[in-house]
Amino acid sequence: MASMDNVCDIIIFGGHGDLSFRKLIPALYHLSNDGYLSLESRIIIVTRQHLSDEEHEALVRTKLEEFLGEGAFVESKFQRFLSQLYMATVDFDNEESYAGLKSLLDLYPERDRVNYLSTAPDFFATICKMLKTRNLISPQSRVVLEKPIGRDLVSSRAINVEVLKYFEERQIYRIDHYLGKDTVQNIMALRFSNRFFMPLWDANNIDHVQITVSESVGVEGRWGYYDEYGAMRDMIQNHLMQLLCLIAMEPPCSLEADSVRDEKVKVLRSLRPMSPADIEKKTVRAQYAAGSIDGQPVPGYREGTGMAESTTETFAAVRVDIDNWRWNGVPFYLRSGKRMSKRNSEIVIQFKTIPYSIFANKGSCISQNKLVISLQPKESIQLKLMNKIPGLSDQMRLQQVELELNSPINEARKPEAYERLLLDVIRSNPTLFMRLDEVEAAWKWADVILQGWADNVVPMKKYPAGSDGPSASIQLVVQDGVNWNGE
């Protein structure tokens, strides 16, 4: 068992929502049963539903059995976890309805409080205001904001300004669950603890970088939400941009939160702004049309309820350039899409070719070295190198081999990203969370592209569900002499 962390109260607003049942409550179940969360800590599920304690217990049991995974639900562990669970019924914009929550929290006024806002962003300011009005915010309180924080710089800034009226910046944790993945955190370990990589990590040695997040699933009942955001806002502006920052940032002076985040902000501020001509040449947007996945027919995006006239992209690809000494001339290719041929999230660091090959391939290089960091469906790190093909041939022939750089896992179960992030909030460690200037710098860059798309600088393309995306995304990289990894 791990050592217990601080006793605290964790309040989940939107506690009966999809994210809470799929990710947050299972993560807290594991943290508690693995010994990272004291049994004295309370988990308060805030919901607008009126349920009895028995109904609430039955609902939580059903959802844990569904989302924990095969064999993970254990009755004795559930009973142990159940002793920490409480429920409060709150109508977010009705001050009087916070009375029950206040009664619970006032039992231990000195405790640290983690307020997790697993709600639509429209409620962020309202909930924070009500917590302040009810005198439920202390210097030890923290608030976690789920994405999306706005649809653009203006709306994002409006939300943050409101939240900052009630919480200080040091108390605000803007979450990006990709940063909780062990392999993502390992990027810094690879870069800054290995002499082998340090001198190679620049424009002299790296040809280009690819960051791909493809999903085989579609919108799955989130039509209203997704159509407001699309692939650029939902994925590229936050998840993929955070991955880019970890790959491109300079070494921080320490692992303290602001040291790391200072370097990430420098990357975001170095992104080359795009002109309308750049947007036309360096970006692709598309919607999936009818197709098939695993032999099953899949309807197109516009066949969803109320989507017939939608102009929201389900696929986006962008070439990003970073104007600084380390990365000048190195393109970063970002792409993300739904209803793709497979679920795959990876970062590919493609190194430049050797100047000349002396081996049996007529002077040309057989293959470039590459570092492939896979995040989904399986986390792994592979370094692809050239090696001699065994045998007695009169010519030395080469083949690409893969060097696995994965850490051995001694734990019976690999922790999920939300476990790491929730534990960091409990520990008051904001390193893996976005600071306000990070959020604003990312939106400032993305807004230019989004405006260009709104002006139809780049026409909407189509791609069949179950494919690798539109042909325009292939052309995006081919015009630079590059192919997407694995295609």
Please list the active-site residues. 239
- Alpha carbon 267 to its chain centroid, in Å, reads 18
Question: What is the number of other CB atoms lying within 10 angstroms of the CB of residue 160?
Answer: 20
Q: Which two tokens stand for residue 293?
A: 């996945």
Q: Which two tokens stand for residue 55?
A: 């109904």
Task: Answer yes or no: are the C-beta atoms of 15 and 120 closer than 8 Å.
Answer: no
Which 3-state string (H, E, C) describes the chain? CCCCCCCEEEEEECCCCHHHHHHHHHHHHHHHHCCCCCCCCEEEEEECCCCCHHHHHHHHHHHHHHHCCCCCCCHHHHHHHHCCEEEEECCCCCHHHHHHHHHHHCCCCCCEEEEEECCCHHHHHHHHHHHHHCCCCCCCEEEEECCCCCCCHHHHHHHHHHHCCCCCHHHEEECCHHHHCHHHHHHHHHHHHCCCCHHHCCCCCEEEEEEEEECCCCCCCCHHHHHHHHHHHHHHHHHHHHHHHHHHCCCCCCCCHHHHHHHHHHHHHCECCCCHHHHHHHEEEEEEECEEECCEEECCHHHCCCCCCCCCCCEEEEEECECCCCCCCCCEEEEEECCECCCEEEEEEEECCCCCCCCCCCCCCCCCCEEEEEEECCCEEEEEEEEECCCCCCCCCEEEEEEECCCCCCCCCCCCHHHHHHHHHHCCCCCCCECHHHHHHHHHHHHHHHHHHHCCCCCCEEEECCECCCHHHHHHHHCCCCCCCCC
Residue 26: asked if its preceding bond is cis (omega within 30°), the reply is no
Give me the phi and psi of 84, to 5 degrees please.
-95, -10
Task: Answer yes or no: are the C-beta atoms of 99 and 136 closer than 8 Å.
Answer: no
Half-sphere exposure of 481 (CA within 13 A, CB side): 6
Half-sphere exposure of 393 (CA within 13 A, CB side): 10
